[in-house]
Amino acid sequence: MVSALVVVTLVVASVASLFMAWAIGAGSSGSTPFAPAVGANAISVMRAGFVVGLLGLLGAVLQGANVSEAVGRGLISGVTLSPLAATIALLLAAALVAIGVFTGYPIATAFTVTGAVIGVGLALGGDPAWAKYRQIGTVWVLVPFVGGGVAYATARLLRNESVSERVAIPLLGALVGVVLANIRFTILGSSGSPASLAQAIGSRLAVLPATAGEVAVTLLVAALFALLLARDLRNDELRGQRHFLLTLGALVAFSAGGSQVGLAIGPLLPLLEQSSVTVSLILVLLFGGFGLLLGSWTGAPRMIKAIAQDYSSLGPRRSIAALIPSFVIAQVAVFLGVPISFNEIIVSAVVGSGYAAGGSGVSRAKMGKTVLAWLVSLAGAIALGYAAYVVAEAALSALFG
């Protein structure tokens, strides 16, 4: 039988997790996916907030397991997060992210959550998970260079007068189709293992070996994307660009849900195990996805406006260039189980595509402040998490002996 103390602890931790999910939905996962599309006038701010909430919920349920496991169990070795430690980490990280939402500066959510969990875990007596830190650090460092570089190259391609957009954009669409066909979904796998669309369909093609079937499905999806885009562009070039842009925004929003939900509910997983409360992972992911949806609907428009208008005045071409690497990087992070900031991904890609047009519209002062906020949020979250746990534990010991 579950004790009253355990029930109270779970309720407090769940409220903290829901608040964290709301803050993420109002901030990074709710604002960044459609910000380039809003900047290109392909969708309104309020409609973007509504759509991204639904897509984030779907992504959370279908792809949220990997990052949730990493945040809940992979950041500290030797100990399991206690109910007090998890609650402090969630409340602290949510407060820092909320500050970013209300001040208009994109605080890197992954930095604050990762830092808070590491801080309380070290205070709890755990050891640093150096292998995971190296993996996370490598991804974080590479994101601005890879995302910005690919966005720059893509924007230059689309601006090249010798290359027709009616050829370039369908080719880019084919690339997106290749990635989409090979991302993994929980519902497509068997025995608890996720599977991609190419794997699920390719393995059922009896006339082909499994690997050849996967390749065939991948090529089919890529060709379908390219053909639909080519047809759309022939009918109306500007409308075709905007349709592609909205598709990319939808894919990035879905990916954001799969990545960001783990930052909100990851610390809850060890709590549920310790309390002997049996709850399926799907329900926990749904809970976190609901928090993302609420945040996107109630708080995202402010940050969407900040990202779309303050960093760069984007057109459809530069927006497409920003979203393609964002989608690919997000899916790589989900696959690896690495908590990652969508602010870092999108802002890097937006700046890269902006510099392809000579840097017009890119605020260097704003970028400098943003990078500083990222670094301070990581270091500050580690220090505050450690200190908050030490103080809380001392206070509880004094009160209850």
How far, in Å, CA of 59 to CA of 55, rounded? 6
DSSP labels, 85-114? HHHHHHHHHHHHHHHHHHHT----HHHHHH
Of residues 20, 74, 26, the one with CA closest to residue 53: 26
Side chain identity at residue 116, one-letter code: A
Q: Give the domain ranges of the chain.
A: 4-400
pLDDT tens digits for 281-332? 888 999 999 999 988 888 777 667 666 665 446 677 888 888 899 999 999 9
**Six-digit token string for 215:** 């390749």
Q: Which neighbouring-strand residues pair with 127?
A: 77
Find out whether 329 and 146 touch, Cβ atoms under 8 Å. yes
Higher pLDDT, 339 or 368: 339
Q: What tens digit of pLDDT does each residue of 352-397 get?
A: 887 776 655 556 666 677 777 778 888 889 999 999 999 988 887 7
Cα 24–chain centre separation: 9
Percent of the chain with pLDDT over 70: 85
Confidence band for 191, pLDDT divided at 50, 70 and 90: low
pLDDT in tens, 104-128: 665 677 888 899 999 999 999 999 9
Phi, psi angle pair for 189, to nearest 5°: -90, 180
Whole-number pLDDT of residue 311: 45
Strand partners, 190: 193
Whether the pLDDT of residue 248 is over 80: the answer is yes
pLDDT digits (tens, 9 = 90+) for 15-29: 888 888 887 887 766
Name 287's Cβ contacts closer than 8 Å, sequence gap at least 6.
14, 17, 18, 21, 265
The more confidently predicted of residues 186 and 361 is 186
Q: Which of 398, 392, 378, 309 is nearest to 118 (CA)?
A: 378
pLDDT band at residue 334 using 50, 70 and 90 as cut-offs? very high
pLDDT-derived band at 192 (thresholds 50, 70, 90) equals: low
Q: Which two tokens stand for residue 365?
A: 């002062």
User: What is the end-to-end Cα distance of the chain in Å, rounded?
Assistant: 25
In sequence order, the 6+-apart residues with CB closer than 8 A to the CB of 213 are 198, 201, 202, 203, 204, 205
Q: Which residue has the higher pLDDT, 33 or 165?
A: 165
Using DSSP's 3-state secondary structure scheme, residue 194 falls into strand
Q: Tell whether the torsion through CA atoms of 399, 119, 19 and 3 is positive or negative.
A: negative
Query: Measured between alpha carbons, how far is residue 173 from residues 170, 178, 262, 361 in Å?
Result: 5, 9, 29, 27
Q: What residue type is assigned to position 180 of the chain?
A: L
What pLDDT shows up at residue 309?
A: 61
What pTM, to 2 d.p., does this model score? 0.86
Question: Quick check: 27 and 295 in contact, CB under 8 A?
Answer: yes
